[in-house]
């Protein structure tokens, strides 16, 4: 049976607290970098641990990569799954992206066991890269 939660139901799910000093960053690529071909993206996290989606463990979460997203998703609801919001719910810490030539933006956002951003949100700066 498929269960569908409404925005009102998700708003009642308490957000998971993030510890002070937690932060996300890009190991690779660097802001402003020009890359040839496929883009190897390595995620960095400090002050927390990585756990697969659905895991209820303190001070953990899993990565979401925002690719060319104009704005952040709602921070009190599960992060959407689409080409702009890529989920790494198995606990992955890197990915190789095939992006078309041109300028792209990347940003990391940590999600809790339910794919909901922590409170306060643990996210990287948005970076820009150019693919040739």
pLDDT (tens digit, 9 = 90+) per residue, 51-65?
A: 999 999 999 999 999
User: Rounded CA gap, 88 and 62, in Å?
Assistant: 6
Helix-then-strand count for the chain, H and E: 1, 9
Domains of the chain as residue ranges with CATH: 19-131 (2.60.40.10)
For residues 34 and 91, the answer to whether their CB atoms sit within 8 Å is no
| Entry pTM | 0.90
Q: What is the 8-class DSSP label of residue 45?
A: E
User: Would the pLDDT of 8 be above 60?
Assistant: no
């Amino acid at each position: 049976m498929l269960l569908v939660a409404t925005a009102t139901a998700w708003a009642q799910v308490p957000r998971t607290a993030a510890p002070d000093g937690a932060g996300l960053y890009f190991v690779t690529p660097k802001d402003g970098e020009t890359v040839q071909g496929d883009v190897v993206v390595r995620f960095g996290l400090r002050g927390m641990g990585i756990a697969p989606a659905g895991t209820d463990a303190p001070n953990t979460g899993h990565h979401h990569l925002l690719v060319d997203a104009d704005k952040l998703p709602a921070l009190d609801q599960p992060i959407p799954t689409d080409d702009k919001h890529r989920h790494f719910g198995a606990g992955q810490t890197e990915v190789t992206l095939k992006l078309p030539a041109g300028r792209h933006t990347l940003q990391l956002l940590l999600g809790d066991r339910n794919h909901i951003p922590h409170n306060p949100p643990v996210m990287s700066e948005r970076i820009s890269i150019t693919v040739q």
